[in-house]
Amino acid sequence: MSRELKIKAAEAAFEFVKDGMKLGIGTGSTADEFIRILGDNVAKGFSVIGVPTSERSAALCREVGVPLTTLDETPELDLTVDGADETDRALTLIKGGGGALLREKIVAAASADMVVIADDSKLVDTLGAFPLPIEVNPFGLGATRRAVEKCTQALGLSGEISLREADGKPYLTDGGHFILDASFGRIPDAEALSSALLEIPGVVQHGLFIGLASTVVLAGEGGITLLRR
Ligand code: 5RP
């Protein structure tokens, strides 16, 4: 996705932001463009306050002057704007390519509304070409991984389940957890997979976002398309 399309998606999402709103602020290269647009508008006198979904987004918000709060101080938000790795037409998402899925889901669930920004290549008929991130507790990794394999096989899903690494070590999320990336290829029943994964004690959260997004803003060469639920 070109930077130009990311900026276009972020600009279109900014139309949903009203003065005085309490925002959830996403993570990723598209969300970064949204944060920069927010910063430009705050500098012109626009008033918002935001809860960032990662340390990375928090740092960028500070750099561009977006005022921050926490879900402890501000437990209910008006709107979250975030990127996605895939969306289907029911606005079920795969998120977590950038490793922030847990905080992203907590923040989206605390928001009255969620607008997703992406380029149109992320719209798919069936989710799953993008590997599903599954955030797990480091304790008992081997057993959790085996349980994930068994429960997904029982649902007819197959494919490599690999531990995400960074610099030759397991990737650590902001919450101190690991991520398993599950390359299923196709996820025909996201609800069934979600319920099964959340039954496994070592699974902290997964990257399927079901019923959270109300609007997806897709930027393409032909312009902006809005998908709504
Ligand atoms: C981070 C995410 C991102 O929103 C997702 O990976 C999309 O990122 P990008 O805008 O860089 O393509 O879920 O955890």
- For residue range 130-156, list pLDDT tens digits in order: 999 999 999 999 999 999 999 999 999
In three-state secondary structure terms, 68 is strand
Q: What is the largest CA-CA distance in the chain?
A: 55
Q: Flag whether pLDDT at 50 surpasses 70.
A: yes
Q: Flag whether pLDDT at 101 surpasses 80.
A: yes
83-94: average pLDDT: 98
Q: To test the ligand 1 pocket, which listed residue (8, 82, 85) has its Cβ within 8 A of the most ligand atoms? A: 85
Residue with tokens 């809005």, as numbered in its chain: 226
Catalytic residue among 55, 76, 86, 104: 104
Q: Flag whether pLDDT at 1 surpasses 90.
A: no
93 within 8 A of 87, measured Cβ to Cβ: yes
Ligand 1 geometric centre to CA of 48 (Å): 22
Model pTM?
A: 0.98
- Index of the ligand 1 atom closest to the CA of residue 100: 14
- Index of the ligand 1 atom closest to the CA of residue 26: 4
68-72: average pLDDT: 98
Which pairs with CB-CB distance under 8 Å and at least 24 residues apart come from 16-21? 16/79, 16/81, 16/113, 16/115, 16/215, 17/48, 17/79, 17/81, 18/78, 19/46, 19/47, 19/48, 20/47, 20/48, 21/48, 21/78, 21/79
What residues does ligand 1 touch, defined as CB less than 6 Å away?
Answer: 26-31, 82-85, 95-101, 104
- 79-82 and 114-119 as β-strands: parallel, antiparallel, unpaired? parallel
Helix or strand run (H / E) with residue 198: helix 190-198
Q: Flag whether pLDDT at 94 surpasses 90.
A: yes
Is 135 one of the catalytic residues? no
In three-state secondary structure terms, 19 is coil
- Index of the ligand 1 atom closest to the CA of residue 101: 14
Residues 198 and 176: their CA atoms lie apart, in Å, by 18
220-55-211-91 Cα dihedral, nearest 10 degrees = 10
